[in-house]
């Protein structure tokens, strides 16, 4: 009796720590099962996802405003350089402040929620600062961003 030739195809293998896989599985199924209902979030995983979603939205708005400000500063390279430096320092401060703020729950399931809420709150405050910069009137010597 003749044997059939063996066909072997390489299979991509992804190795993942089983604990990480188990921790991420509920998030995957929650995301696939339904859209997030952040108003009625009842479990930690959903609350964490909602916090991340809110941070992403605030960060998107911040980045859009930052682009507008740096575009207005294009004619003044020194001011633009100061703005870029200030923003980098602010991001470092925000992240360090929020790590400290959430340090009491570090390693716990609530950490992403506490950290995410902190980052979102500070980002929203920075958004307001940027909005005020963009309202500067021509000739306002106390405002670092020229009017449009």
Q: 3-state DSSP call for residue 130?
A: helix
Fold of 45-134: Substrate Binding Domain Of Dnak; Chain:A; Domain 2 (1.20.1270)
Token pair belonging to 4: 């059939």
Token pair belonging to 51: 């916090």
Token pair belonging to 32: 């696939």
Would you place residue 17 in the very low, low, confident or very high pLDDT band (cuts 50, 70, 90)? low
Domain ranges of the chain: 45-134
Asked if 48 and 113 touch (Cβ cutoff 8 Å), the reply is yes
Q: Pick 75 or 22 by higher pLDDT.
A: 75
pLDDT of residue 26: 57
The mean per-residue pLDDT over the stretch 131-143 comes to 88
Would you place residue 21 in the very low, low, confident or very high pLDDT band (cuts 50, 70, 90)? very low
Backbone torsions φ then ψ of 78, nearest 5 degrees: -65, -45
Asked if 123 and 62 touch (Cβ cutoff 8 Å), the reply is yes
Averaged pLDDT score across all residues of the chain: 83
Cα–Cα distances (Å) from 132 to 13, 142, 144, in that order, read: 51, 12, 10
Q: Identify the DSSP state of 141.
A: T
Q: Pick 139 or 4 by higher pLDDT.
A: 139
Give the count of alpha carbons within 13 A of 4, CB side only: 3
């Amino acid at each position: 009796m003749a044997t059939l030739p063996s066909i072997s195809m390489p299979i991509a293998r992804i190795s993942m720590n089983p604990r990480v896989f188990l921790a991420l599985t509920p998030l995957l199924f929650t995301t696939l099962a339904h859209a997030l209902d952040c108003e009625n979030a009842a479990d930690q995983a959903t609350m964490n996802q909602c916090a991340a979603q809110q941070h992403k939205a605030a960060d998107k708005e911040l980045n859009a405003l930052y682009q507008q400000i740096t575009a207005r500063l294009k004619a003044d390279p020194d001011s633009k350089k100061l703005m870029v430096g200030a923003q980098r320092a602010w991001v470092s401060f925000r992240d360090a402040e929020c790590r400290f703020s959430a340090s009491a729950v570090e390693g716990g399931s609530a950490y992403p929620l506490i950290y995410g809420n902190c980052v979102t709150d500070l980002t929203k405050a920075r958004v307001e600062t940027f909005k005020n910069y963009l309202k500067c009137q021509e000739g306002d010597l106390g405002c670092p961003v020229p009017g449009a």
